[in-house]
Amino acid sequence: MKRKEYSIAVVGATGAVGTEMTKILEERDFPVSRISLLASTRSAGSSVEFRNRDVTVELLFEDSFEEVEIGLFSAGGAVSEKFALIAADAGCIVVDNTNAFRMDPQVPLVVPEINPHAIAQYKKRGIIANPNCSTIQMVMVLKPIYDAAGIRRVVVSTYQAVSGTGKKAVDELLDQTRDVLNFQTAECNVYPHQIAFNCMPQIDVFMENAYTKEEMKMVNETRKILEDDLIGVTATAVRVPVCCSHSESVNIETEKKLTASDVREILSGAPGVTVIDDPASSKYPLAIDASGKDDTFVGRIREDESIEKGINLWIVADNLRKGAALNAVQIAEILAREYL
């Protein structure tokens, strides 16, 4: 029997995440009958290869979603706020990678390995939200620990790649690096400061409580995905001069005592997680190794000697893949397999 195929739209198809979405649909042989690649006037008319043929990028407009069954959105919050609603009204199920609907109680916020059951809630608004990249890789590791021992509090510091900001930021890092090495002035257009040879403790805008929006996304989204509002989460989000893959230093206070080897064993069996933890031979997860891979990598697992029930660890994942495009395509796969 021929399997059912779906008409798919990728909104923001020429961006850092959109490009990965199209690539991953092809790599994972998603059942696509038709693909619409949508973007702004800047790139409409250009072409993108999908399954060995050139697909013309079209301008996103109100009628773009007629007869589209699943829309993968990654063109920024403002575009989603307007067009996700238009798409959902036209009967297209939206998997939205932006911040626009993540905390909407009517919209499920999903990491397929963690809370696939939440997808069933998509019918309320026709929208499923993809969490923030730093949240996804963190909950991939927190959930198995949460199930085994409960979690009281999480303290996280991130070391985030510039590709999370988009293609322009990657160009800016490379241009600035070249300029600095050539004793030229580095031009800053994307970030408020030079990012080359620097670390910047600001991701997204500052909120009234002095945290950045990115930091509060990690707090609120973690609680929503783990369905536990009592977990304490505090975050410091830092942009570093890395092109791809986010790294995170995470301190976890558990309810029940776990040893480092308990945690190693728990995480070794976790879906989508790979443990790399051999300090004697300097083996631990690295951004350059995680890039292009699907798994979330964890290492430097050790007991926090300053508290009774605490663990420290280091988590790395490709922010464009598991942190964005792959997670969205995995959601679409479950939708197609179980709901459509």
Q: Is 9 in the site for ligand A2P (CB under 6 A)?
A: no
Q: Is 79 in the site for ligand A2P (CB under 6 A)?
A: yes
**Footprint of ligand A2P on residues 201-230 (CB under 6 A)?**
none
Q: Residue 66 CB: number of other CB atoms within 10 A?
A: 11
> Using CA atoms, how far apart are residues 65 and 245, in angstroms rounded to an integer?
32
**Footprint of ligand A2P on residues 159-178 (CB under 6 A)?**
166-168
**Footprint of ligand A2P on residues 15-34 (CB under 6 A)?**
15-16, 18
Q: Is 13 in the site for ligand A2P (CB under 6 A)?
A: yes
Answer yes or no: 246 catalytic: yes
3 state DSSP class of 294: coil
Answer yes or no: are the C-beta atoms of 147 and 269 closer than 8 Å.
no
* Minimum gap (Å) between residue 15 Cβ and ligand A2P: 2
Answer yes or no: 188 catalytic: no
> Using CA atoms, how far apart are residues 230 and 17, in angstroms rounded to an integer?
32
Question: Angle 104-110-112 (CA atoms, 0-180°, nearest 5)?
Answer: 170
Answer yes or no: are the C-beta atoms of 114 and 225 closer than 8 Å.
yes
Q: Is 68 in the site for ligand A2P (CB under 6 A)?
A: no
Amino acid at 147: D
* Minimum gap (Å) between residue 10 Cβ and ligand A2P: 9
State the maximum Cα–Cα separation within the chain, in Å, rounded to a whole number. 64
3 state DSSP class of 1: coil
* Minimum gap (Å) between residue 74 Cβ and ligand A2P: 7
Answer yes or no: are the C-beta atoms of 48 and 115 closer than 8 Å.
no
Which one, 20 or 303, has the nearer CB to ligand A2P?
20
Task: Identify the bridge partners of residue 192 per DSSP, sorted by sequence position.
Answer: none
Among the listed ranges 36-44, 86-94, 250-258, 294-302, the one in contact with ligand A2P (CB under 6 A) is 36-44
Answer yes or no: are the C-beta atoms of 301 and 313 closer than 8 Å.
yes
Catalytic member of 133, 188, 193, 243: 133
Answer yes or no: are the C-beta atoms of 99 and 77 closer than 8 Å.
yes
Amino acid at 23: K
Q: Is 124 in the site for ligand A2P (CB under 6 A)?
A: no
Which one, 145 or 320, has the nearer CB to ligand A2P?
320
Q: Are strands 296-303 and 310-317 parallel, antiparallel or unpaired?
A: antiparallel
Q: Is 75 in the site for ligand A2P (CB under 6 A)?
A: yes
* Minimum gap (Å) between residue 56 Cβ and ligand A2P: 13
**By rule CB under 6 A, what count of residues binds ligand A2P?**
17
Q: Is 153 in the site for ligand A2P (CB under 6 A)?
A: no
Which one, 4 or 42, has the nearer CB to ligand A2P?
42
> Applying CB under 6 A, which residues contact ligand A2P?
12-16, 18, 39-40, 42-43, 60, 75-76, 79, 166-168
By annotation, the residues acting in catalysis are 133, 246
